[in-house]
Amino acid sequence: MEQFDVASTLQFARYVPGGSPLHRLHPGAKALLLLFGLAALIIVHGTAGLVLALALILVVTLAAGVPLAVPLSSLARALPWLLVIVVVQILTVPSARWGADYGGWWIFTLRGGQLYTAVTSLLRFADLILFLGLGSAVTRVDELAYAGEALTSPFARFGLPSRELSLIITIALYFTPLFSEEAARIRKSQAARGADFSTKGLGLLRRVRAYLPLFVPLLVLALHHAENLARAMEARCYTVKMGRTRLHTYPVRSLDVVAGGMAAAIVALAILHPAHGWDQTVQALFGPRG
Amino acid sequence: MNARKIAVAGVLSAVAIFLGAPPLHPGFIPWFAGASLTIMAAPVIIGAVLEGPVVGTIIGFLFGVSSLVEAAMAPAGPTDAWFTNPLISVLPRLFIGLFAWLIYRALEKRNLPTALVLAGLGGSLTNTVLVLGMLGLYGYLHWGLIVTIAAVNGAPEAVANAVLTLAVVAAWKRVAYGRKKGAQLE
């Protein structure tokens, strides 16, 4: 009967409660750190920066009181897949073909440059996974919704729907587990009406049509929910004009401004990238360039 | 943005998040050789078609962010590692709604079912082309392999999204199409 029960536990953002300074930061500051941290991790291209980032993330995770097991378990789950794509990348992508030659076979070659790219890619993915794990461990769901509004509110005067964004995120997070139950219910009732969801040996159009009895009712139901929600909001005179108040306010403290400044500094550091010397030393280990 | 746009954006984003959610990934229709056709672009396209490009972009943004978080927290395959990079998981998805809406607006007066199918195809192909394009620019995949994936996986995926868009929007708007002209609903 498992095929009828779409899992009701949709936990993908794992919050670890705590009282550390990181936990108590303003949601906007957390979002800035998250965004700029991600940007920095994407921009940095040398092993020095990536190793430094790794150390920094682990230190901050410990300082926030988040047990290292939490982000490291996500990394452990991803590790087999990381190795697969890194192997695919180093064996087939031509741009990394520099450095010491370790031979080749058919369309595959193995050179030092490819190994260097493999190491850098692995480090970058590990950094991204650990960083996102840390971010979701210290951010509550309601802070998440407010963070979107906090970050985009300066741009609201240019037409960006900033206040609406936090409401949309809240609505989305509210309805997601509901659709999990609805989908299970729809699957069972369609099966009772004789729908067959197996797709073995079927062509494209027939496969898609096999799933229509599940997805069309689900999406139409979603639109009905939206219609009812919109009517309820209008009946309560909901308006998006300025002057709305919040139940939970998030005052900005000096620590939050400092955190925002640090976020900008991290990106600047990633762009300016002072550790060129060390990168060149590491690259030289993999053989001559050019 | 009025209440209706907010509600549709929130609810369809919930559907997009649910379709991609671990562990069961309901939005993955099994294809062959272990690959799947993903229909998470359909709520984005439907939102754009029904309520406009801003709603479509918001749904696309939330879809992208949810795939970013899911890839980092609960990876289900080797390709999930790429989606921890927001330039690959979030940025391309912002444009699905825009292109789907543009196509729909250009054609809706002439023939609604055709407009829906082409909007579905266009939105899904936007997703495929932009995501694979970013993967190629990053050097994660050989360009030849990318073209193969786009043809073998992207094209059927576009058809799947197009069929779903047509079925849902036509059902919602009570528009008859095809030989059987829909069910007798009145």
- Does one domain contain both A276 and A257? yes
- The bridge status of strand A101-105 relative to strand A108-111 is antiparallel
Does one domain contain both A27 and A156?
yes
B46 in any annotated domain: yes
- Confidence bin at B50 (pLDDT 50/70/90): very high
With 70 as the cut, is the pLDDT of residue B61 above it? Answer: yes
Same domain, A194 and A232: yes
* A234 in any annotated domain: yes
For Cα atoms B121, B122, B124, give the angle at the middle one, nearest 5 degrees.
Answer: 65
Residue ranges, chain A, pLDDT below 50: 1-10
Give B75's contacts in chain A (Cβ within 8 Å): 74, 77-78, 81
| Residue A93 amino acid letter | V
Determine contact, residues B120/B100, Cβ cutoff 8 Å: yes
SS3 label, residue A102: strand
Report, in angstroms and rounded to the nearest whole number, the Rg of chain B calculated over CA atoms.
Answer: 16
**How confident is residue B141, by pLDDT bands cut at 50, 70 and 90?**
confident
Based on the fold, state whether residues A253 and A224 are members of the same structural domain. Answer: no
Nearest CB among A78, A125, A219 relative to B168 is that of: A219
pLDDT at A1: 38
B9, B26, B72 member nearest A133 (Cβ): B72
Evaluate whether residue A16 is within a structural domain: no
B21 Rama class: left (phi>0) / alpha (psi -120 to 50) / beta: beta
Q: What distance in Å separates the CA atoms of residue A227 and residue A141, rounded to the nearest whole number?
A: 25
What pLDDT score was predicted for residue A95?
63
Residue A186 belongs to some domain of the structure: yes
The 10 Å Cβ neighbour count of residue A279 is 18
Asked whether residue A52 falls in the same domain as residue A151, the answer is yes
Assigned domain for B177 exists: no
Considering only the beta carbons, identify the residue of A84, A215, A223 that sits closest to B39: A215
Which of A81, A167, A222 has its CB closest to that of B80? A81
- What's the structural domain count of chain B? 1
Q: Are residues A64 and A206 in the same domain?
A: no
- Residue A41, in any domain of the structure: yes
ipTM, two decimals: 0.91
Range of the domain at A57: 21-160+248-290
Strands B28-30 and B36-38: antiparallel
Q: What is the mean pLDDT of chain B?
A: 87
Contact residues on chain B for A170, CB-CB shorter than 8 A: 10
The pLDDT of residue A80: 83
Quick check: is B37 in a domain?
A: yes
Q: Identify the pLDDT of residue B184.
A: 53
Q: Are residues A73 and A37 in the same domain?
A: yes
Same domain, A35 and A133: yes
Token look-up 């139409």 returns: A220
Q: Tell whether A68 and A101 lie within a shared domain.
A: yes
Chain A contact present for B15, CB below 8 A: yes
B181 lies in some domain = no
Residues A42 and A123 in one domain: yes
- Please, which residues 132-171 of chain B have a Cβ atom closer than 8 Å to chain A? 139-142, 145, 156, 159-160, 163-164, 167-168, 171
* A237 Ramachandran zone, left/alpha/beta (phi>0; psi -120 to 50): left
* Domain match, A46 and A106 both: yes
- What is the greatest pairwise CA distance in chain A? 73
Domain that holds residue B55: 3-172
Domain assignment present for B106: yes
- Please state the domain count of chain A: 2
Q: What is the mean pLDDT of residues B23-50?
A: 82
In a domain, B148, yes or no: yes
Is the pLDDT assigned to residue B24 strictly greater than 70? yes
Cβ distance of A229 and B11 shorter than 8 Å = yes
Identify whether B63 is part of a domain.
yes
Helix (H) or strand (E) holding B29: strand B28-30
Mean per-residue pLDDT for B29-33?
68
| CATH number, domain with residue B99 | 1.10.1760.20
| Angle (nearest 5°) at CA A114 between B34 and B154 | 30
Q: Tell whether B182 is covered by a domain.
A: no
Same domain, A125 and A212: no
pLDDT-based confidence at residue B186 (cuts at 50, 70, 90): very low
Contacts of A178 in chain B (CB under 8 A): 14
Q: What is the pLDDT of residue A175?
A: 92
> Which of A236-245, B112-121, B134-143, B170-179 tops mean pLDDT?
B112-121
Query: E-strand spans in chain A?
Result: 101-105, 108-111
Which helix (H) or strand (E) segment holds residue A188: the answer is helix A162-192
